[in-house]
Amino acid sequence: MMDNRVEGIVRPGADIEAQSFAIIEREVGQHGYDPLEWIVVRRIIHTTADFEYARITLFSSGVVERAREAFHGGSPIYVDTRMIAVGLSPWRLGWYGLRVEVPSDDLGIMEFARRHGITRSAAAFRMKAEKLNGSVVVVGNAPTALMEIVRAIEEGIAKPALVVGVPVGFVQASESKEMLIRNGMVPFVVTKGRKGGSTVAVAILHGLLECARLIDEKGL
């Protein structure tokens, strides 16, 4: 019997995805991304049906290769929401045997946040700051979490392998991303402005994993 699966997706689903990618390629046309960065941006557009991401997604130099190195090293992935953790494909994570941590799930976060007068998301990453060294950090929801991560980097407490900073919203979302860009001490992927979210964060991480896999298999 012929196998109807394509790397974690049944064949009809893979065919629809390929058609969607072709439509995206046609409608976007020329863009300024290199081939690997474009894999990530195309994945975001596929997830959101929002072509503005072809203008607002920003990569620091060499971040795709840095992500690949982190995956090969088995770096843990720290995320700001359980939605991101649930959204990540187990079979993609399985390529590199990666584990996902959600700091805000830890006991004692609420009391720590109350005592320090900060949000739960900021408290979660403040408590985990020293564990972020060499990790992949992904923020899709909480600007205060991203601001706390940048603060820890600037103070020399944490040095992640890379940061995906795409919090969504109207309060501090854009500002937190600009903080990460200005910091410039760690590789990053951001979506400038108010747009982002957990689904975008998942799409970016999936795209980075796919890039790493392509480099490994084809030497791109």
Structure tokens at 47: 């997830």
Beta-strand runs (E) in 4-56: 5-6, 9-10
Angle, helices 109-116 vs 120-127, to 10°: value is 110
Where b means 16+ CB within 10 Å and e means fewer, 32-42 reads eeeebbbbbbb
Active site residue 46: yes
**91 to each of 7, 15, 215, how far by Cα in Å?**
8, 19, 18
**From the candidates 31, 46, 72, 116, which is the catalytic residue?**
46
Report which DSSP code applies to 193: S
Sheet holding 57-59, edge to edge: 57-59, 188-191, 162-165, 136-139, 77-79, 100-101
Report which DSSP code applies to 103: G
Structure tokens at 20: 């969607």
Strand partners, 101: 78
Q: Which residues are catalytically annotated?
A: 46
